[in-house]
Amino acid sequence: MSQAPLLAAKRLVVKIGSALLVDLEGQVRMHWLATLAADVAALRQHGIEVILVSSGSIAVGQTLLGLPKRRLYLEEKQAAAAAGQIRLANVYATAMAAHGIAVAQILLTLEDTEARRRHLNARATINQLLKLGALPVVNENDTIATTEIRIGDNDRLAARVGVMINADTLVLLSDIDGLYTADPRLDPAAKHIPEVVRLTPEIVAMGGKALPGLSSGGMETKLLAGRMAAEGGCRMAIANGRQMHALAHLAEGGKATWFAAATEPMTARKRWIKAALDPRGRLHLDRGAVAALSRGKSLLPAGVTATEGTFRRGDLLLLLGPDGAEVGHGLSAYGNDEAERILGRQSKEIEEILGYRGREELIHRDDLVLSGN
């Protein structure tokens, strides 16, 4: 990947971390925000559609409600978010009004980005706002999201939003200027990595352990966001946003780590399979089948040694290797009764066994997502 500049973006999501927007006293950094607003206005002048995902409601609300300066309990966080979000909406509206830009607030929950119909609704609304020239400002709906159903960090929320609305570029502005080969605070030899072409599991593991970011999400959530974005065809930058005019600086080639988008982005269908949480059954595969899948092949009945569970055609199944390790997920072309009858057999025998001509594959490659991919 050549380091494509920010200005190549057509549709850009910018995530703004709490530590940038809110100072240690819990006050909004108005001067900083004014410079961000000017940069956003300039990018829009350039013909780039911009969507902001902003944190800060809890940090601001904590001060507004006079809550103690310690880690908050969930109920306190939810109350703080309710109070802080009004203030956030207000400061964004004021900052953008200076450039004649209307701001529109969108509060999302995990379900809004996962459930197909709500996902489409949220997407349509954001598209409509962009068409009307407004600046959508998104946050998680922390007031109603409980621990179990929260996305929890705005890095991944921003990636979900980016993929949902087909953004081509995502920028995570935080207090760290990218990925390093080791923790730069501990290791003076740590090298900054300007670009990552493929987010391998090794890089994710390295970032997660060796490089705790300073912001709430940390480096691990940023890399997970990067992977989600890449799979959705969206490139991503991690950049330090502390300075004034952080976006203008990045547009001029400022220091950052750029993550390339996958050259063959996962289809919406595959992303859905990957995100689905509730497999109806399991298939045990032999070694040959596991090897074939890793070469991009479909799963044939011949490579399946056993099935578990009651499932129907179209249901999500978990695939396990001979050692019991998870291999991936996929949508079954057969119900469990039929699958049991054809497992271990050649595809050309299917018609004879079942009495009709079904699909050759038990799971077609288009309906299959391998783990660690």
Per CB under 6 A, residues contacting ligand GLU are 17-18, 55-59, 139-140, 142, 153-154, 216-217
Residue 284 region by backbone torsions, left for phi larger than 0, else alpha for psi between -120 and 50, else beta: beta
**Terminal C-alpha separation, the chain:** 20
| φ, ψ for residue 107, nearest 5 deg | -110, 120
Q: In whole angstroms, how far apart are CA 117 and each of 65, 113, 363?
A: 36, 9, 25
CB of 150 to ligand GLU, least distance (A): 9
Integer Cα distance of 92 and 344 in angstroms: 61
CB of 189 to ligand GLU, least distance (A): 30
How many beta carbons lie within 10 A of that of residue 152, not counting itself? 16
Query: Between residues 152 and 322, which has the closer beta carbon with respect to ligand GLU?
Result: 152
Query: Between residues 63 and 139, which has the closer beta carbon with respect to ligand GLU?
Result: 139
CB of 15 to ligand GLU, least distance (A): 8
Burial of 127 (0-12, 13-18, 19+ CB in 10 A): middle
Both tokens assigned to 244: 């004034």
CB of 76 to ligand GLU, least distance (A): 12
CB of 198 to ligand GLU, least distance (A): 25
Q: How is the chain split among helix, strand and coil, in percent rounded to 5?
A: 40, 20, 40
CB of 255 to ligand GLU, least distance (A): 22
Would you give the distance in Å from CA 75 to the centre of its chain?
26
Confirm if 101 and 70 have CB atoms less than 8 A apart: no
Query: Between residues 65 and 182, which has the closer beta carbon with respect to ligand GLU?
Result: 65
Query: Between residues 174 and 336, which has the closer beta carbon with respect to ligand GLU?
Result: 174
Query: Between residues 62 and 307, which has the closer beta carbon with respect to ligand GLU?
Result: 62
Query: Between residues 108 and 350, which has the closer beta carbon with respect to ligand GLU?
Result: 108
CB of 118 to ligand GLU, least distance (A): 19
CB of 82 to ligand GLU, least distance (A): 11
Query: Between residues 223 and 320, which has the closer beta carbon with respect to ligand GLU?
Result: 223
Q: In whole angstroms, how far apart are CA 288 and each of 6, 35, 151, 265, 284?
A: 45, 58, 37, 27, 12
Query: Between residues 88 and 163, which has the closer beta carbon with respect to ligand GLU?
Result: 88
Burial state string for 223-242 with b = 16 or more CB within 10 A and e = fewer than 16: bbbbbbbbbbbbbbbbbbbb
Find, among 146, 159, 54, the residue nearest to 109 by Cα: 146
